[in-house]
Amino acid sequence: MALYKNSQVVKHSDHAAFDAIHNPGIAAPDAGIYRCINCSHEIGIAKGHTLPPQHQNHPDGVAIKWQMVAFAQHK
Ligand SMILES: [Zn+2]
């Protein structure tokens, strides 16, 4: 689970981008933290970078699917 210390710099959002489930191997639609929904592994990724088709300690025979848990906002 993603952690934070300073609640002044994070904000709740119901943005639809948090609901989308992404296949590995596609470009991340937004920068942020993504979580593998089948094993809870988290990654940080830049917008447009490829969501990893594999990652450490993912159980064999289970699909990797990515869901965004934190949206990095650029100014
Ligand atoms: Zn996984």
The Å distance, Cα 74 to ligand 1 centre, comes to: 27
For 46, the domain range is 18-71
72 falls in which pLDDT band (50, 70, 90)?
very high
> Does 75 have pLDDT greater than 90?
no
The answer to whether position 3 is within a domain reads no
Give the number of other Cβ atoms within 10 Å of residue 64's Cβ. Answer: 20
Please count the structural domains in the chain.
Answer: 1
The answer to whether position 63 is within a domain reads yes
The answer to whether position 48 is within a domain reads yes
The Å distance, Cα 44 to ligand 1 centre, comes to: 14
Position 40 scores a pLDDT of 97
The Å distance, Cα 11 to ligand 1 centre, comes to: 26
The answer to whether position 57 is within a domain reads yes
> Which tens digit of pLDDT belongs to each residue from 1-33?
999 999 999 999 999 999 999 999 999 999 999
> Which tens digit of pLDDT belongs to each residue from 37-63?
999 999 999 999 999 999 999 999 999
Task: Tell me how far CA of residue 6 lies from CA of 11, 16, 18, 28, 60, in angstroms.
Answer: 11, 24, 21, 26, 37
The answer to whether position 46 is within a domain reads yes
| String of DSSP letters for 2-36 | ---S-GGG------GGGT-EE-TTSBPSSSEEEEE
The Å distance, Cα 8 to ligand 1 centre, comes to: 30
Position 45 scores a pLDDT of 98
The Å distance, Cα 52 to ligand 1 centre, comes to: 10
